[in-house]
Amino acid sequence: MEKSNQVKWPEILSLAALNVALVISWIAYHEYQPILLENFSFTDLSSFLVISKAIILVIIPPMAGLTADYLLRKNGKFFVIFTVGIGATAMIFMVVASIIGAGPANDLKVFLPYMILLWLISMNLFVSPAYSMIEAFAPAKKLPVVVGFLFLVTELIYALEPVVVSLVRFFGDTLTFIVGGVLISVSGFFFHKICSANVMSFRKDNANATKKKTSVSAYVAIIGVGFFLGAGKAVLVEYFPGFIAINFPNHEQLAAYFSLGLLAFSAIFAFLISNKVSQMDIKKVIVMSFLLFVVGALGILFSPSLYFTLFAGVVVAAGFGLINLVGIPFAIANLSARHITYGIGIFIGASELLTGIFEIVLN
């Protein structure tokens, strides 16, 4: 079955809604994890959970993708891993809400660390299957536009983290986890529902139409681009605020807001130029984004003033926006149809590697 030349916006909007639910859930997790560990006397597990999270974010998306591709070829069922991930995540949210509601004195508290680990795993089960569907939502030339829209929605929610945190605190811990479970399950249900039969047929037909395998060099290139994308985010989110706080102590209170502002700029910049980028050669865009990142990163390292640092951060953010537009399209273009989900999982895992290392080192 041939793919339509039209962009399937209902499917893309449903994926954007799922992204919003994911981002809100991650913000809630980062807000409440230290509080819960302290309230339930598990602070000694803090470092273990940081390391576990870093490992899970790298290895689970490829494993989920590999399993999803296998089930599609074997049984013609693509959404099994996605459904398991959504269902498990929603259930764990509710279990955690019950444990919190029961209080620290309840015997159920011993299950809390296990629930957090399982939640981290389940949250990463459905990401690579969901993102691999982008291939069926738009023609190859329009993929940067689709990714630009998704990137805009996702990063603007991250940039609005102080607002989300305020809402999370307003709801309180128990209600936050209940709301999180509802958001994930409802957005996951609609994404599954809206992905029409012809889109599913496209994936099945393409997966069964070729026996071609993805080359090792293609996987290496995908890992490299994914790692580069992750480096951009790690610099903006993990390194930049700390650098500001250390080198410009008078602006320490604003460091986090500078970082969030750069994320917002990156998302808006990428969205505005996505149509132009869709007409360019992907490899040339990757080289451009790499050059911007290197120049901006060196500018931050050797900055003589706060204003120069902020300008260098803008350059890094521009490079980060560009690589986001073409990262997934590059991966899809270099993957066999039989290994799309696995390859996207590898790309996502590689993109989380450096952020995980930063979190472990800075913990």
Confidence (pLDDT) at 1: 41
Q: What percent of the chain has a predicted confidence (pLDDT) above 90?
A: 47
Closest CA to 191 of 274, 130, 134: 130
> What is the dihedral angle through the alpha carbons of 128, 30, 183, 86, rounded to the nearest 10 degrees?
40
**Mean pLDDT over the full length of the chain:** 88
Confidence (pLDDT) at 210: 58
- The pLDDT of residue 2 is above 70: no
Q: What pLDDT digit, counting tens, does each position of 209-219 carry?
A: 556 678 899 99
Alpha-carbon gap, residue 58 to 217, rounded angstroms: 20
Confidence tier at 79 by pLDDT (50, 70, 90): confident
Indicate left, alpha or beta for 281 from its phi (over 0: left) and psi (-120 to 50: alpha): beta
Alpha-carbon gap, residue 16 to 126, rounded angstroms: 14
Phi then psi for residue 212, to 5 deg, are: -60, 140
- The pLDDT of residue 13 is above 70: yes
Q: What pLDDT digit, counting tens, does each position of 176-200 carry?
A: 889 989 999 999 999 888 876 656 6
Q: What pLDDT digit, counting tens, does each position of 297-356 carry?
A: 999 999 889 999 999 999 999 999 999 999 999 999 998 878 888 999 999 999 999 989
User: What pTM was estimated for this model as a whole?
Assistant: 0.91
Q: What pLDDT digit, counting tens, does each position of 244-303 carry?
A: 988 888 887 788 889 999 999 999 999 999 999 999 999 999 999 999 999 999 999 998
Alpha-carbon gap, residue 150 to 160, rounded angstroms: 16
Cα distances from 144 to residues 78, 87, 148, 328, in angstroms, run: 24, 30, 6, 8
Domains, the chain, in order of start with CATH, read 9-209 (1.20.1250.20), 216-362 (1.20.1250)
Query: How large is the average pLDDT for residues 4-15?
Result: 84
